[in-house]
A and B are shown apart, each in its own frame.
Chain A
């Protein structure tokens, strides 16, 4: 029995190690390749670079405008996440805290967005945004990201607000606090853990959003990061600047992974919270 357990134990670790290699292998390959010359990439894709070319990175940052796309993404996503939280917190607080006719209806209405595929909205959304001057606009993109994040965030935050004891509300009312004061100074701070979770969740989702900017932004200078990466890939097919592209992928990939590894417990909780609710 002893050798069987030992064999099983090593088999188990072998299997896990193989999958870890399959996950990490391509990432390492990209990072290593990003330091090579184009010649080396074409003739000897499997070896280490002869000299480690850091200039690929300055080319990726400046010429390929990764820096610009990065700033654009920040400009869009920080306001959109804050807006997502503000709009959803308001709706979910009302649903969780007050009893009135039509509450069920409000709840169903707020969640109905989860039912539809975004592809159904694309055509009207494009023309609507166009009419309102919200295409090729970072502000427009922020507002639209937030609007499309309301349903899920509301679902999550409603459950969260329900866990805050009703007595707190009553006590504050007895102390003479108005509804706005109770909401802003008592309820929102108490909901902070839920807001942080949804903040992380929406930040990752909106940072990686592709289809909405793809439809709503066509001015290259305004591209957000995922869009800019795709544009860069198409450009590369004309310019054959492989090394800059690999450097660009590394620039985008490595910070994400580092940030994730540092905050992994929080992020993992935020990512999985959606499915576990």
Chain B
């Protein structure tokens, strides 16, 4: 490499890496430092307390409650979303006509809308008095429940909204993957007398292994976040029934000014996500099927 090239590289990198280091890397590193302090805001400087925040987290019912809710999302959201998306993709892709193009476009509507708009829209659709759902139920003489006000229904309602919002995106992904499968595979199978279902199970599904994994991982990471939808639709209520780690971290930091404790919670959240991805990668590797 020549001198003028080195000068070029340095000049090209200095601003982008500077901005990235200052606004992205530095806060992440600093957060780990803050997590080891007690810090109540600008008036008082942070004081070092070692791992005391982490010990406090273990005994904090609010943390365990939020974690349990994240766990419920993790259990249901990826599997339901991906299954439904697979079914829809398979139904659309069978014969690619104008009508199926229409479905593919329509299914992605929720994805291009802002999550805030989606949350507000469904907040009102679930409204016990003026909501879409309950006024529909009223037609059949059923008095609909308070979907978001009932601790037993609130989280299930949110799962429904998240699935509604995400299915189209994963359907689009799966359709793209299905269209990449060579038509000759299906022709050969058809000659061997395979039906639609057999072809889907034995050809399409195995070839979709990678996109399905990607989608499951993607939705799993979504299940760790869910800040906007929770904040707007339930505020974490009723009575903390829909609190998640993201809203809990936010509240500890910006409502209660417990900056040290909030950062420690965020470090735990990060560790859980890392651990989860490591486990997922391991599980997926063990299940790897080799095709001849």
Contact = CB atoms under 8 A, between A and B. Distances in A.
Contacts of B17: 91, 109-110
Interface in A202-255: 204, 207-208, 210-211, 214-215, 225-227, 229-230, 233, 242, 245-246, 249, 252-253
Contacts of B111: 271
Contacts of B106: 20, 23-24
A272 B262 CA distance: 34
Contact of A264 (B105, B113, B122, B130): B105
A267 B52 CA distance: 48
Nearest to B30: A124
Contacts of B172: 268, 271-272
B139 A100 contact: no
Interface string B7-19: 0110011011101
B132 A27 contact: no
Interface in A106-160: 106, 109-110, 112-113, 115-117, 119-128, 143-144, 146-148, 150-151
B27 to A, nearest CB: 4
Interface stretch (B54-62, B73-81, B182-190, B224-232): B224-232
A41 B136 CA distance: 14
B236 interface: no
Given A23-B164, A230-B120, A90 B16 contact: yes
A109 B21 CA distance: 9
B40 to A, nearest CB: 12
A37 interface: no
Contacts of B31: 120-121, 123-124
A82 interface: no
A113 to B, nearest CB: 5
B249 A119 contact: yes
A150 to B, nearest CB: 5
B121 A26 contact: yes
B27 A23 contact: no
Interface stretch (B151-159, B200-208, B210-218, B284-292): B210-218
A124 B30 CA distance: 6
A58 interface: no
A109 B110 CA distance: 34
Given A179-B5, A233-B232, A27 B227 contact: no
A52 interface: no
Interface in B1-59: 1, 4-6, 8-9, 12-13, 15-17, 19-20, 22-28, 30-31, 34, 42
B194 to A, nearest CB: 14
A189 interface: no
A94 B13 contact: yes
A197 to B, nearest CB: 14
Contacts of A110: 17, 20
B199 interface: no
Interface in B155-174: 164, 167-169, 172-173
B123 A233 contact: yes
Interface residues of B, number: 92
Contact of B23 (A12, A144, A242, A260): A144
A16 B88 contact: yes
A29 B7 CA distance: 60
Which of B100, B108, B131, B246 is the most central at the interface, judged by chain A CB atoms within 10 Å of its CB?
B108
Contact of B122 (A26, A88, A106, A128): A26
Contacts of B232: 230, 233
A193 interface: no
Contacts of B132: 25-26, 29, 45
A113 B250 CA distance: 20
B282 interface: no
A7 interface: no
A123 B246 contact: no
B129 interface: yes
A13 B231 CA distance: 37
A174 interface: no
Given A19-B103, A19-B167, A226-B115, 7 more contacts: A16-B100, A20-B107, A23-B109, A45-B131, A125-B27, A128-B23, A210-B115
* Complex A-B, nearest 5 residue pairs according to Cβ-Cβ distance, in ascending order: A147-B23, A87-B16, A179-B8, A124-B27, A226-B116
14 contacts: A13-B99, A19-B103, A88-B16, A91-B17, A119-B266, A120-B28, A121-B31, A122-B254, A124-B28, A125-B23, A128-B22, A128-B27, A210-B115, A257-B109
